[in-house]
Structures are given as structure tokens and as C-alpha cells.
Amino acid sequence: MERGALAQTARHIPKKAGTIFVVSTEDVWKHKGEALRQALENTRYEVLFLPGGEDHKRLAPLEIMAEQMVERGGDRSSLVIAFGGGIVNDMGGFLAAIFMRGIPVIQIPTTLLAQVDAAVGGKTGVNLQNGKNLVGSFHPPLVVVTDPALLDSLPDREYRAGLWEIIKAGIIREPGLFRYLSEQRQAVLSRRPEAVDHIIAESVRMKSEVVSSDERENDLRRILNFGHTFGHALEAETQYTRFLHGEAVAWGMRAAVHLGELIHSVSAQDAAAMHRIIDEYGPIPSVAGIPAANLQARLAHDKKTVQGSVHFIVPVRIGEVKVVSGVEEALVRTAIERALA
């Protein structure tokens, strides 16, 4: 993770690598293709474009791309460079995981969300009609090239959506980061390079620590889902069109903090500080007209449900959360209603 890291990309390509496939979207390529082209100046590579958007994060485009890879000389020695937002990281990573039963991938995340989240931890995959990320594989990248300079063309709404995952990192495990985000809000929102670099580095470190302590999904990794159980319900209820993922997570964190207050897992003072920081980095699109009952009904369908019982991650204090289950339905309803209010 370093400003300017993109220029060093070629160094990470193994000498014996065969055909290199850059997987990207037209959109990302328009903004940042030239920068990658320069970084790969003396390297031969093919560019494959994915259709962007969550609707297209499906298996079908991967089959088409795998065929194209074979036609263009792809074999077991090939390498994928996934260059784009989280969708490209997930799809390009999964393509690498299954092409010829697995070839290496270099991840180059180009959104804030992808730099602090999607490209860290080795999860790859696509959506099914029945839900997000239901088909996939763990395929840890050869290297992640994280260059904050890639974010300078990112639209403001996308940037702020990524910030909520960083706020999440502060709440669940990093009190110092939480304090920094509170005190340096102007620097962060105006994208001052040293502020951006700092919060990315801290978030990447946090997620790396959590996922390396247990590569597969279980207890510690579950804290990363703070705000996500509620957030996923909101995304699904609004057909993934009204909120960006990070915005839904912002709302979900609010609901999770309310739930923590209702079950007395967190002090009123810490809860207030959490609500404040979520507000200060807002606003998110309006939640008007969304029925609490519908959101509550959707909780049970969340992928993170374990054997039928919904687990919630609630705050304990700034920098600490815990997993609870068997929470009374009425309290969950109240938390949702308060977050919608």
C-alpha cells in the first residue's frame, strides 16, 4: 500500500508467467487504463472487459471470458490482473480461481471500498439470482497493489461509500482510527493525500489481521459483518438500486448501535459517539417509506445466518464488538424502527 505503487506493478509479475490477462471494465479503463498501460510498458498483456454493475456479477460473463482467454493463448502459466472496483476484484479473482483449475491473480483495486475491503482477504465470487456472492472461492492474490492515487477519479458518492467501511473498522477494532476519523473529518472528506493514505493503511492492516487469524469464515472474521446483517436487508429490500453498499452499511451500523443500546451491550456515551460519526460522514439516501417489518423479515434470509438463528454484531465500546444471538424479536424491531426514524 503506497501512493505510486501502480507504477511498480510489473515487478510483481513472475518471470515465468505466460500470457497476462488484465480484467477490467470499460469505465475503469477510461479513467485509469493509461496509468496501468504505462506501468506495464515492457510487458505483453491482453485486456478483457467485463460488463460493470452488480447485475452483471454473474457466472455467465466468466465463461465468455474464459473462452476468450483460451483463444488468446491462455494456459496454466497465465496470470490475471484484476483492475477495477470490488466487482472486478471479485469476478477477476474468481475467474483466476477456476481457469485451468486456478492461476495466480494480482489484485489492483481502484475504488476505496475495494482497496480496504474487497481486495483484502482472498474471497472471490459472483452472485446468483437467489442472492449475492453465493458462488465463489477463496483465492488469495499473489499480491495486492494498493495505490491511493487511483482513487482521484472516483466519484464523491463512491468515495464516501467506502469511508463507511473504514468507520466500521474503527468501531469494531481500531479506536485510534475512530478518533482520527472524528478529528480529521475535513481532511478525509476533502481527500487530503496523507489522510487518505493513513485511513487506507489502517483499514487494510485491520482486515488483514482479522482474516489471517482465520482464513475461513468463523468467529473473529464475523466482526467484519458489523452493520451488514441490517445493511444487506436494506439493500435487498430496495433491489440494490437505492443505496450503495457502503451507504446501506452506514444505515446497518446505525441499527446495530441501536440494538446494542437496547440490550445494554454498549454505554449511551459510546453509542452516541458512534451515531455521531455515522451522521457526520453522511448523508445517505432517504430511507423514507421502507417498512420495518419487511426489513425484519429479510434478516432471517441473510447468508450469514447460521442454522436458522440470526446472529447480530453489536458494539461493546469504541474498538470492540461482540456477536449475540437469540435477541428478542421486539428489540430487533425497535432497533430497525429507530434507525429508520
Residues that bind ligand NAD (CB under 6 A): 25, 27-28, 31-32, 52, 54, 57, 84-88, 90, 110-111, 113-114, 117-118, 121, 123, 132-133, 150-151, 153-154, 158, 245
Question: How far is Cα 87 from Cα 142, in angstroms, rounded to an integer?
Answer: 18
Shortest distance (Å) from residue 194 CB to ligand NAD: 19
Shortest distance (Å) from residue 119 CB to ligand NAD: 8
Which residue's CB is nearer to ligand NAD, number 17 or number 201? Answer: 201
Three cell numbers at 198? 493513513
Kind plus residue range of the DSSP H or E element containing 312: strand 311-317
Question: How far is Cα 102 from Cα 96, in angstroms, rounded to an integer?
Answer: 6
Which residue's CB is nearer to ligand NAD, number 25 or number 203? Answer: 25
Shortest distance (Å) from residue 162 CB to ligand NAD: 7
Shortest distance (Å) from residue 257 CB to ligand NAD: 21
Which residue's CB is nearer to ligand NAD, number 32 or number 258? Answer: 32
Which residue's CB is nearer to ligand NAD, number 144 or number 292? Answer: 144
Which residue's CB is nearer to ligand NAD, number 213 or number 309? Answer: 213
Shortest distance (Å) from residue 303 CB to ligand NAD: 11
Shortest distance (Å) from residue 172 CB to ligand NAD: 15
Identify the CA nearest to 27 among candidates 9, 47, 50.
Answer: 50
Which residue's CB is nearer to ligand NAD, number 3 or number 338? Answer: 3
Long-range contacts of 157-160 (CB under 8 A, 24+ apart): 157/244, 158/85, 158/111, 158/112, 158/113, 158/244, 159/112, 159/191, 160/189, 160/246, 160/281
| CB contact set of 283 (below 8 Å; sequence gap of 6+) | none
Burial classification of residue 170, based on how many CB atoms lie within 10 Å of its CB (0-12 exposed, 13-18 middle, 19 or more buried) = buried
